[in-house]
Structure 1
Amino acid sequence: MQRVTVAVSAEPNLMKGANHVHVLLSKAENFDTYYDPGWQDSDGNLYCVSSGLWSDLQIEGVTDPTIFSEVIYELMQIYPDIDMAAVAVAQDAFRWGGKAETSKITAIIGDDPFSALSEMGLRPLEESVED
């Protein structure tokens, strides 16, 4: 198992796709992992993030759902709302490493999620200060 930190650009289609991939990979039971942006890049673009332990099969499967072809039928019985079109959108936007970008899902493998987020160029969303 390896720690994977993921940043999803806070675009509704990407968040939806990332949520469906997360369920497909058995990383979540609900479609709500990515819903509340809490991170931003230097231009103020918003991102949702997650970090957790992934198996080698999950790491391979994030960009290739055919790896799970034997269990997709079973998963669709358990989670009939998995939207494979949304999964395809997320897979097209997915990449390993680099700076986070709008219209992208970026992931980094490493033990320290805060270092990974920093490497992606992200910082916590600044809360507004009320006078």
Structure 2
Amino acid sequence: MSKASSKTAQLKPRFRITLHGEIALGPGKVDLLEAIGRTGSISAAAREIGLSYRRAWGMVDTMNQCFKSPLVARSKGGAGGGGAELTVLGQGVIDRYRTMETKALKTVQAEWKSLSKHLNTK
């Protein structure tokens, strides 16, 4: 446990959306989408969040298959290199997911306040 996390307790509601036995969307996939949006590249995004390129590519492929339209548009490499960008749906999915987290956190504040009193934060 890091010093910062040992002094304060935090509540982080996270969702996993499954479809046909696959995780269509979850916290790691949303983090990856955000990194792709920042970097314009699956490989750079993978490096940024500490994933292998193979793992990141598999996550993107799963998300793209689970949604009616792709969340990430890829372009093939070549002389100028390839790239990736979020689609409008991809950005919308991130926004909705983060909104769900925020709303969930607000909804459980009374319970969290009561529960957090019992945590050993010393």
**Fold match by TM threshold 0.5:** no
The structure that has the greater radius of gyration is 2
Larger RCO, structures 1/2 (Cα 8 Å, 6+ apart): 1
User: Would you tell me which structure has more strand in proportion to its own residues?
Assistant: 1
- TM-score, length basis structure 2: 0.32
